[in-house]
Amino acid sequence: MTRPYNFSAGPAAIPNEVLEQAAAEMLDWNGSGMGVMEMSHRGKEFLSIYEQAEADLRELLAVPANFKILFMQGGGLAENAIVPMNLSRAGAVDFVVTGSWSQKSQKEARKYASEVNVIASGEDAGFTTLPDPAAWKISRGASYLHICSNETINGIEFHQLPDLKALGSDAPLVIDFSSHVASRPVDWSRVGLAFGGAQKNLGPAGLTLVVVREDLLGHALPSCPSAFDYKTVADNQSMYNTPPTWGIYVAGLTFQWLKRQREGSHSGVAAMEQRN
């Protein structure tokens, strides 16, 4: 069968090998007599799927030990609210607006953060260039600084993440990396939190990935729902509520597929970067 190319924003194509394996295991996963969609998320069968997926993703993205990997729901748009509910307690938050997605992010954050500052914007140039980090008007004592590292609608991408410490800021950098996660390595030394919907690169719609540095946990607003409190989610291994089990399973198969990819002397995410 000839499959069409899919250039939409998502849900995007999933590798044939992944779909074939998911289809073969639909009625009976690993001899359990159950399909993954039928399993208890607290049963040993699904816990083994979850643990393998988390370990494979940590390896693929080279996520340091002091970061938690959370499998959540709501997509990237929901994270525009969940991030400020978790990180804005200290006060102002900063945004660099480089296109449609970061515009949405800063508008949503205004519902939760006491002060939202657009410290740089590419709007005057029609979102065709990135504002020079040297000219960003970073707020003193900001709770975090948010960027969308790849603005698909406007075609703007940060080829290198900004070094906030070099810019004189102690604020953690928050990145929306939905549309290019797993296409290149992430410099975690410059990141406090990264989030993205799985449907772009990693799996089906319904799963949201959050990678958050441990010291940023435990600062949620009192009004933050428990199921969205990153510390609660982390303390319960993404099982505080029923997680998107099917999405985690298919994403886990994608992680294994990514690990098998080779491009010259490179493998995994490095191979995808070379291929791209």
> Is residue 275, in this structure, part of any structural domain at all?
no
Domain count, the chain: 1
Q: What is the Cβ-side half-sphere exposure of residue 270, based on CA atoms within 13 angstroms? A: 7
> Is residue 164, in this structure, part of any structural domain at all?
yes
> Is residue 110, in this structure, part of any structural domain at all?
yes
Quick one: which of 228, 191, 180, 194 has its CA closest to 74?
A: 228
Tokens of 61: 């993205």
pLDDT tens per residue across all 276 residues of the chain: 788 888 777 788 899 999 999 999 999 999 999 999 999 999 999 999 999 999 999 999 999 999 999 999 999 999 999 999 999 987 899 999 999 999 999 999 999 999 999 999 999 999 999 999 999 999 989 999 999 999 999 999 999 999 999 999 999 999 999 999 999 999 999 999 999 999 989 999 999 999 999 999 999 999 999 999 999 999 999 999 999 999 999 999 999 999 999 988 889 998 998 988
pLDDT at 226 (0 to 100): 97
> Is residue 235, in this structure, part of any structural domain at all?
yes
Residues annotated as catalytic are 101, 176, 200
Reduced to 3 states (helix: H, G, I; strand: E, B; else coil), residue 120 is strand
What are the DSSP calls for 208-232, one per residue?
EEEEEEGGGTT---TTS-GGG-HHH
Write down how long the chain is.
Answer: 276
> Is residue 101, in this structure, part of any structural domain at all?
yes
Q: Which residues, including other chains, have CB under 8 Å from residue 173's CB and lie 6 or more apart?
A: 144, 145, 147, 161, 162, 164, 190, 191, 192, 193
Give per-residue pLDDT as tens, 227-251: 999 999 999 999 999 999 999 999 9
Distance CA 49, CA 38 (A): 13
> Residue 74's domain spans which residues?
65-241
> Is residue 17, in this structure, part of any structural domain at all?
no
Phi, psi of 241 (to 5 degrees): -115, 175
pLDDT at 102 (0 to 100): 97
Give per-residue pLDDT as tens, 177-206: 999 999 999 999 999 999 999 998 999 999
pLDDT at 276 (0 to 100): 83
- What CATH number should be reported for the domain holding residue 103? 3.40.640.10
> Is residue 236, in this structure, part of any structural domain at all?
yes
